[in-house]
Structure 1
Amino acid sequence: MRPSVFSFKPKRILYRIILPFTLLFAITSIFSWLFSAYLITRYLDQILKSQMEQVASAVSKSSYILNPAVLYQIKEIIKSDIVLFDKDGRTIRSTFPTDTDLSAFRFLIQGDKNRDFEEMDLNFNGEQYRTVINPLVLTDTGLAFLSIWMPKRDMAQLRTGIIIGLGCICLFGILTMAVIAYIIARTITAPVEALAGVTEKIALGDFTKRAEVNGIDEIGRLGISFNHMIDQVKAFEKQLVESEKLATAGQMAAGLAHEIRNPLTSIKMFGQVLQKRLKDRPEDEKTFLLLVKEIDRLDRIIQEIIDRANPGKLHLEKHNPNKVLNEVIDIAGQSLNAQHIKVQKNFSPHLPEILMDAEKIKSVLWNLVLNAKDAMPKGGEIIFTTRINANDAVEVIIEDSGLGIDVESEERLFQPFFTTKPEGMGLGLNISRKIIKIHGGSLTLKNREESGKNGTKALISFPAKGE
């Protein structure tokens, strides 16, 4: 069995939005962190060098440079050891322990004796030092060299602390960016996911679902368009069902016509033969004449069913709607009078002639008149109105004073085979609407509530200028 497309878990758009931006921000942040650490390290080195040079210069100019007590106080202040060498590399004064041998560092004073502030890194007793050497002249010993030894571990700790701090800030920024990106992405993906869920249910046949519309942005407009599309699909599905019913009705009518017409023709022929043989018996001849007439009536009923199931091609000619409506009223006049139904005409004298198949339009009008007549078994009133509306369309209105349309039947009036009458096939209104539709017009049926009266109002609208 082939799996459904909805059985697979699709890649979420949420991740496609968050991951690229978060990754880009993370790469940028890490690069900025490393570059900042590099700049800060260089800046610290420069500051340290400048501070050591300033201290060395200040100490070398001091008159207390040979005083051990002063040197130890300076050591506590600058957190660095101080060593004074003579020109031969022997130690004159030192803040290191007294048993410390510094003879290995005589090379510090070798080279150009006139240069100031030579800086280098040294390894002494397992610890790294940053050293600055400054030459000076003493009264007793002549040329000497002052060196300041700063442990690099303090600077390394400071550098490490700054780099770790920047790393924490960078990590916090990445996490914050991910959270913000998630929140922003959810505002986009949540409606899309909801819409996708609705489409899956609709694809499985549940047309009761609707997309939730929040706002009027692009996604909101998409939801509105989607709901409109579903309404159209339902309408098309309903029309398809009605078309299938009508096609079935047409096939049934054709079959009935084929099966019934042949025996009816035979019966009619035998009746006509018997009618001729009974010329000398007037009463029997009259009976057979009625039989032949009823057979003709059955034949007409069958033809009417066929015509209603398949309206066929239109024979369009220009006609005045007032004239066509008058002809139907004249035919129905005696039947309406017999049922105590009054007729009122409100015809517009300025109606243009429009293209129509007069016979088919008469069948529609006749069907509406019969429905109005059946709705008033104890008498009433039918109002026939013709007019031109604001859009220059021609309207024909038939109103009765009957009981009107109940709520349950209102939506099903035009469905094939639906009827509220004890007799009838329920095709009249459906075929009537179909005939008006192929004329380019519309047919609606509703209660007369807007006029404050009971009854039903049928409205036929023909396109402007018969187009």
Structure 2
Amino acid sequence: MKKLIFKLIPNSLSRRTALLISSLAFATVIINMVIIFYFEYSSSFSTAEKYIDSQYKIMSSDLAESIITDDIYSLFTMIETVSQAIPHIDNIAVFGNEGEYVTDAKVRPESLTATISPILLTKEISAGNNRLGTITFYINRESIIRQITRKVIGLFFINIAVVIMGALVGVAIAARMTKPINDLSRQIANLDVLELPYKFNISEYASGETRNLQNVIEKLSFRLKDSIDRISEQQKELHRSERLAYLGTMSAGLAHELKNPIMAISLIIDNVASEIGDNSQWQEDFTVIRREADRLVFRLNEFLDYSKPVNLRYDEISLSALIEFIKGQTYRKVFSCMEIVFTAESDPLLVTDKDKVSQIFTILLNNSAEAGASKILCSFDESEETIKIEYEDDGCGFKEEDKAKVMLPFYTTKPTGSGLGLAICATIADAMGASVNIAEKQSRGARFVIRLPKRPQV
């Protein structure tokens, strides 16, 4: 039964609204007709009863006199006149004191039983304290029902016409009400992903619920646009990473092949220098060869460090101990010309790889030294889950157009750099679940923000 009802319900909201209005209106019409019929029936009977009471009071004395004098004709004339004057009176009969028939308005005793289910209203005829007989009024129930039925049918058709007009108006109103949501659905169906984010145009008389839906969908379109852009960037980054990984593999192989011959050249130079002795001219040339060979080996080691995976070894260490370890690893001769200041307001325990953290600082300090920096400020601030490290120098810094590229491998702003230092920093940080980012700096120099997790990320 339920399935059948659901099948009969239209899919369109406007048609559902029209069906609801029509059903409620039709039910209202039926209820009204029943109520009107009941009250009309009661009112008609009450009116007839009042007429009868009024006429009875007027002719009660005449009725008594006619019975006493046995004036049947006058008796007949009175009740005939009354029966014609009062609506819905089918007949009026007079009976004697013993219940015997005297006369009736139609002078046909058999007519007294011809009316189907009449409503009988009997009054007593008396003279003083003497009971002379009774007068019975036969109210025609069918006449009342026919009159009321004609009236109700007329009202019914009028109400049905109003219902039909109301249904048509309801359909028009429902169509106007659903137009904004239909417009919104149509715009969504024709939406092109390339046009995101999208602003929808709906009618100004749209309901608050429709406007809320519009706002939600527009926000979703903005979020979808952001997601598509992010996925696109991730795909580009993935392709870039694949190319760089391939290039790194090639570089690692090439570096490994070149390192051995260079080491052999250095060894041969050492042997030749020891055989020649103290010939200053040759020794100076040998020194230059050794220095350049060492520089080549250093660059080749950078290539190898970048290409191989990062192996982490976690230990529990306090922040103060980590800072002291970094100091011990970075106080080299090359950094002696710079003032390095470390500050920390708290001393929490960390679980981290202190060697890798020190390697990140060594690379940053080496870049600062090459940039001509004289002072380095390193501040450590604790948050709930991370240690925020701000690294600042007063070197030459970066140009605005270089900031987005300096973390990429093989990109360098120095004529002799390999472009792998900051890329190695980023690789180590990624492996540790940390991050290294260039930050804005108002004054001269470079500023990096490092976020180091207190615990390894699972």
**Aligned partner of 1:248 among 240, 243, 248:** 243
The answer to whether residue 45 in structure 2 is matched with residue 55 in structure 1 is no
The answer to whether residue 330 in structure 2 is matched with residue 328 in structure 1 is yes
Measure the CA separation in 1 of the matches of 2:221 and 2:364. 37
TM-score calculated relative to the size of structure 1 = 0.60
Q: Give 3-state SS (helix, strand or coil) of 1:383's partner.
A: strand
Measure the CA separation in 1 of the matches of 2:39 and 2:416. 103
Q: Retained in 2: the 8 A contact 1:311–1:435? A: no
Q: Give 3-state SS (helix, strand or coil) of 2:329's partner.
A: helix
The answer to whether residue 421 in structure 2 is matched with residue 433 in structure 1 is no
Measure the CA separation in 2 of the matches of 1:274 and 1:430. 34
CA-to-partner distance for each residue in 1:416-460, whole Å, 9 max, x for gaps? 6666666756554444234224334333321234xxx44432222
1:109-124 aligned within 5 A:
109-110=112-113
Q: Which amino acid aligns with 1:303?
A: N
Q: Give 3-state SS (helix, strand or coil) of 1:448's partner.
A: coil
CA-atom RMSD, angstroms? 5.7
Of stretches 47-56 and 266-275 in structure 1, the one that deviates more from structure 2 is 266-275
Measure the CA separation in 2 of the matches of 1:277 and 1:415. 41
**Aligned partner of 1:38 among 15, 34, 37:** 34
Of stretches 56-65 and 395-404 in structure 1, the one that deviates more from structure 2 is 56-65
1:85-96 aligned within 5 A:
none
Measure the CA separation in 1 of the matches of 2:198 and 2:417. 36
Of stretches 301-310 and 63-72 in structure 1, the one that deviates more from structure 2 is 63-72
CA-to-partner distance for each residue in 1:248-272, whole Å, 9 max, x for gaps? 2122122133245436644664775
Distance 1:291 1:461, change over 3 A: same
Q: Give 3-state SS (helix, strand or coil) of 2:365's partner.
A: helix
Q: Give 3-state SS (helix, strand or coil) of 1:320's partner.
A: helix
Measure the CA separation in 2 of the matches of 1:38 and 1:270. 118
Q: Retained in 1: the 8 A contact 2:197–2:221? A: no
Q: Give 3-state SS (helix, strand or coil) of 1:462's partner.
A: strand
Measure the CA separation in 1 of the matches of 2:214 and 2:84. 74
Measure the CA separation in 2 of the matches of 1:256 and 1:287. 29
**Aligned partner of 2:152 among 159, 180, 185:** 159
Measure the CA separation in 1 of the matches of 2:434 and 2:146. 95
The answer to whether residue 313 in structure 2 is matched with residue 315 in structure 1 is yes
CA-to-partner distance for each residue in 1:51-98, whole Å, 9 max, x for gaps? 3344345445543994799769947xx6x7887789799966xxxxxx
Q: Retained in 1: the 8 A contact 2:26–2:163? A: yes
Q: Retained in 1: the 8 A contact 2:393–2:447? A: yes
Measure the CA separation in 2 of the matches of 1:432 and 1:50. 105
Task: Give 1:48 deviation, angstroms.
Answer: 2.2
Q: Give 3-state SS (helix, strand or coil) of 1:108's partner.
A: helix
The answer to whether residue 437 in structure 2 is matched with residue 444 in structure 1 is yes
**Aligned partner of 1:460 among 450, 454, 457:** 450
Q: Retained in 2: the 8 A contact 1:246–1:416? A: no
Of stretches 158-167 and 281-290 in structure 1, the one that deviates more from structure 2 is 281-290
**Aligned partner of 2:292 among 289, 294, 297:** 294
Task: Give 1:236 deviation, angstroms.
Answer: 6.2
Measure the CA separation in 1 of the matches of 2:365 and 2:265. 37
CA-to-partner distance for each residue in 1:392-416, whole Å, 9 max, x for gaps? 8544332123566666665666456
Measure the CA separation in 1 of the matches of 2:221 and 2:149. 64
Q: Retained in 1: the 8 A contact 2:323–2:342? A: no
Measure the CA separation in 1 of the matches of 2:404 and 2:162. 66
Match for residue 359 of structure 2?
363
Q: Give 3-state SS (helix, strand or coil) of 1:447's partner.
A: coil
Q: Retained in 2: the 8 A contact 1:354–1:466? A: no
Distance 1:330 1:271, change over 3 A: closer
Aligned residue-pair number: 404
TM-score calculated relative to the size of structure 2 = 0.61
Q: Retained in 1: the 8 A contact 2:373–2:396? A: no
Measure the CA separation in 1 of the matches of 2:397 and 2:283. 47
Q: Give 3-state SS (helix, strand or coil) of 2:392's partner.
A: strand
Distance 1:66 1:463, change over 3 A: same
Q: Which amino acid aligns with 1:447?
A: E
1:77-88 aligned within 5 A:
none
Measure the CA separation in 1 of the matches of 2:186 and 2:410. 39
Q: Give 3-state SS (helix, strand or coil) of 1:314's partner.
A: coil
Measure the CA separation in 1 of the matches of 2:334 and 2:391. 14
CA-to-partner distance for each residue in 1:137-190, whole Å, 9 max, x for gaps? 999xx9987667768775345313443465567668878988998899899x79
Measure the CA separation in 2 of the matches of 1:253 and 1:238. 21
Identity %: 15
Task: Give 1:244 deviation, angstroms.
Answer: 4.0
Task: Give 1:314 deviation, angstroms.
Answer: 1.3
Measure the CA separation in 2 of the matches of 1:331 and 1:191. 74
Distance 1:270 1:430, change over 3 A: closer
